[in-house]
Amino acid sequence: MGSVAERYNQSKINPQKLALWVAIGGIVMMFAAFTSAYIVRRAAGNWLEFKLPAIFFVNTAVILASSIALHLSYTGFKAGREARYKGFLVVTFVLGFIFVILQYYGWVALNNIGATFTVNPSSSFIYVISGLHAAHVLGGIAALTVALTHAFVLPFKPTFRRKQRFELVVQYWHFVDILWVYLIIFFMLNGS
């Protein structure tokens, strides 16, 4: 590390991005706690088995599509193509909204097959974990709202500062997407 001492090693990564990564680490720990609690509880028996409604799988496609849209918007932003940037940002926003609404219908479907919130921890866990994930998606939608305001209110200028702010939104949105993919795979493997 001798050479490191000689140069000024400040800001290799933007502090806000690093802070967001650390926060994501915290969120990951929370969901790790939930899913390990799920495993521990499931191993103890008295576990109601049911099939996860198909709507949750459809919804996985929705949130994956929203991530792709956001990526296209981001590359459009970097390439200076305003229409693509704005258009796909709107698409992302709409898909994010649809995701939360469809999650709600997923819970309704769960309820209809008798897997109610209180009947057994097996279903309670699904509601709590997916509900908490939806809360994080709502946080992402709030961030997307800020990004939309930037896109449509401010003049289109892909400055360094604008890019950094946008990247924070992108980083978080991809995270809640990947988090859902983890959760749905987890629910599949640990058949509720």
Residue with tokens 């400055």: 159
Which tokens is 66 given?
Answer: 């929203």
What's the CA gap between 70 and 84, in Å, rounded? 10
Nearer residue to other proteins within complex by CB, 8 or 160: 8
C-beta of 29: minimal distance to other proteins in Å? 4
Nearer residue to other proteins within complex by CB, 13 or 83: 13
Nearer residue to other proteins within complex by CB, 17 or 78: 17
Residues that bind other proteins (CB under 8 A): 1-2, 4-13, 15-16, 18-19, 22-23, 25-27, 29-34, 37, 40-41, 44, 46-47, 117-118, 120-121, 124-125, 128, 132
Nearer residue to other proteins within complex by CB, 44 or 83: 44
C-beta of 34: minimal distance to other proteins in Å? 5
Q: How far is CA 187 from the centre of its chain?
A: 17
C-beta of 42: minimal distance to other proteins in Å? 11
Closest CA to 92 of 179, 176, 2, 6: 176
88 and 73 in contact (C-beta within 8 Å)?
Answer: yes
What's the CA gap between 81 and 96, in Å, rounded? 23
C-beta of 187: minimal distance to other proteins in Å? 17
What's the CA gap between 49 and 192, in Å, rounded? 5
